Amino acid sequence: MLDIIISVFSTILLAIWLMLPAYISNPMAVVFGGGPPMDMGMKFLDGKRVLGEGKTLRGLIGGTACGIAIGLLQIYAVSAFASTSNIPIPTITAIVALSFGALLGDIIKSFF
């Protein structure tokens, strides 16, 4: 029974570890946000803003950059400190896709 609990717990920790760039990019977009909106104030057919008030280019770039920075730190940490373990090393492609994809999904959600 203890083996199952440890296995479930380690799987949850691994999932959090691999999703960390996406988890970081969303709040950092808020921290770095501000400035002109991504939709340039355009309104859709219903008269509402296309992406809403909170989507800025500065937030997109800042959030994505922070997610990528965390991912690069993960690569360094795993390769430097856990070289003998079986912790998976995220690839650069996965890091960029997670960081940008989390924010892109939020932008698409705001449109709908």
Q: Which residue has the higher pLDDT, 56 or 83?
A: 56
With beta carbons less than 8 A apart as the criterion, state whether 63 and 29 touch. yes
The closest alpha carbon to 90, from 5, 8, 4, 16, belongs to 16
pTM: 0.85
Give the whole-angstrom CA distance, residue 102 versus residue 80.
Answer: 27
> Which tens digits make up the pLDDT trace of 44-70?
888 888 887 888 999 999 999 999 999
Amino acid residing at 31: V
Give the whole-angstrom CA distance, residue 31 versus residue 62.
Answer: 8
Give the pLDDT of residue 48: 83
- Three-state secondary structure call for residue 56: strand
Query: Taking residues 4-14, what's their average pLDDT?
Result: 90
pLDDT above 70: residue 84: no
pLDDT above 70: residue 85: no
Give the pLDDT of residue 112: 86
pLDDT above 80: residue 99: yes
> Which tens digits make up the pLDDT trace of 31-48?
998 888 888 878 888 888
Whole-angstrom CA distances from 72 to 6, 18, 75, 106 are: 28, 12, 5, 23
Percent of the chain residues topping a pLDDT of 70: 96
The label of the residue with tokens 């921290």 reads 31
